[in-house]
């Protein structure tokens, strides 16, 4: 019985933020896909379970992309932004996510 709360706790930490941009909006309209910024160690099954748990929708497919951090300069100092992971979540037909409506 103790395994379920730990798993649910992990699922709540997988999704970091939705990505809302022109490209993300276009994908949401055309392909019923939603894009999320996720933890770098998250797996596809974890991402699927987390989206289904948090938003109460059915997920058809998950695609993942690792985004490399950019090199940045500030004056003579150089640095590097962190690498991160992005998940493209494809919803089943008829499913919809609305971030504006707070439940």
> Is residue 5 scored above 80 in pLDDT?
no
Domain interval for residue 47: 6-70+78-91
Tell me the pLDDT tens digit for each residue of 44-60. Answer: 999 999 999 999 999 99
For residue 54, give the CATH number of its domain.
3.30.70.330
Please indicate, yes or no, if residue 36 is contained in any of the structural domains. yes
Domain-embedded: residue 15: yes
Number of domain units in the chain: 1
What pLDDT, on a 0 to 100 scale, did the predictor assign at position 1? 44
Q: Please tell me whether residue 15 adopts helix, strand or coil conformation.
A: strand
Task: Evaluate whether residue 101 is within a structural domain.
Answer: no
Q: Is the pLDDT of residue 3 over 60?
A: no
11: Cα separation from own chain's centroid:
12
Evaluate whether residue 97 is within a structural domain.
Answer: no
pLDDT 10s digits, 72-85: 999 999 999 999 99
pLDDT tens-digit series, residues 14-49:
999 999 999 999 988 898 899 999 999 999 999 999
Residue 103 lies in a domain: no
Beta carbons within 8 Å of 35's beta carbon, 6+ residues apart? 18, 19, 21, 23, 24, 27, 86, 87, 88, 89
Global confidence as pTM: 0.84
């Amino acid at each position: 019985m103790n395994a379920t709360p730990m798993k649910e706790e992990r699922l709540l930490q997988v999704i970091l933020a939705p990505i809302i941009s022109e490209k993300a909006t276009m994908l949401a309209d055309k392909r019923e896909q939603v894009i999320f910024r996720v933890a770098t160690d998250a797996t596809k099954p974890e991402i699927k379970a987390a989206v289904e748990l948090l938003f109460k929708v059915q997920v058809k497919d998950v695609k993942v992309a690792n985004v490399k951090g950019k090199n940045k300069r500030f004056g003579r100092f150089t640095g590097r932004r962190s690498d991160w992971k992005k998940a493209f979540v494809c919803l089943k037909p008829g499913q919809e996510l609305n971030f504006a409506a707070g439940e």
